[in-house]
Structure 1
Amino acid sequence: MAIVGGSEEATVVVRNKQVILREYVPASGFPKESDMCVTTIGTIKLMLPDQVGSDGVLVKNLYLSCDPSQRSRMTKYEPSTHFVSFQPGLVSLYVSIILPHMIRTPQQRV
């Protein structure tokens, strides 16, 4: 991780890690670590405005949490069913447990 300081904003350059569903989970089973894979696709710049009055908070995911609605989407279903299945190999837009990573001022740190 590299921190780049500037007069207008603080920037952190990090590796872009993604957790991908490798294969469908059987309806009668539970997700296993082997059903997922972690990929790194280049780097991204995470920016937090350094302006007075800015309410920006940058967070870092520490854990992957699968709630029951996400679990049900890890099983392959026919398109006509109530659930739309996740597709293995694609990024999901569902997020996990988060904790503050970079906050503009120490007084705002949780």
Structure 2
Amino acid sequence: MASGGGDNELEVSNKQVIFKDYVSGFPKESDMYLKTNGTIKLKVPEGSNGLLVKNLYLSCDPYMRNRMKKSTDSLVPGSPIVGFGVAKVVDSGNPKFKKGDLV
């Protein structure tokens, strides 16, 4: 949900999919939950070399199932699920990327 910031910058809620605990068998929707983790401004800080991106597509690959089991390369319960995807640049302080670029 976008809202106006005190300095006329838009802010949106930052949502994460959180891994609850190790699974056996096939993962279920109940093995994870959606968490709103504060808000972020839709502008990179002045003088920053950073990027602000909006996720468009996130992968859900078979290898992720094995990372949900307890092993040496496991996801950590209580942490966000990480993966790959495609995003669009919303704002950039980096000369190599401009608004609208796909990354």
Match of 1:80 in 2: none
Task: Answer yes or no: is the 8 Å Cα contact 2:18–2:79 preserved in 1.
Answer: yes
Q: What's the counterpart of residue 38 of structure 1?
A: 34
Q: Indicate the structure (1 or 2) with the bigger Cα radius of gyration.
A: 1
CA distance in 1, matches of 2:15, 2:66: 24
Given candidates 9, 12, 15, the residue that maps to 2:13 is 15
Q: Which structure 1 segments of 5+ residues have no match?
A: 78-82
TM-score (ref. length: structure 2):
0.60
**Runs of 4+, deviation exceeding 3 Å:** 55-58
Q: Find 1:75's aligned residue among 54, 69, 72.
A: 69
1:60 equivalenced with 2:48 (yes/no): no
SS in 2 for 1:34: helix
Query: Is it true that 1:89 corresponds to 2:78 in the alignment?
Result: yes
Using the size of structure 1 for normalisation, the TM-score is 0.58
Cα distance in 1 for partners of 2:58, 2:100 equals 23
- Number of equivalenced pairs: 94
One-letter code aligned to 1:13? E
> d(CA) in 2 for partners of 1:3 and 1:101?
20
Report the CA distance between 1:22 and its aligned residue.
1.3
Q: State the AA in 2 paired with 1:42.
A: G
Shift of 1:103: 5.6
1:12 CA displacement: 3.7
CA contact (8 A) 1:12 1:46 kept: yes
Instruction: Measure the CA separation in 1 of the matches of 2:87 and 2:16.
Output: 17
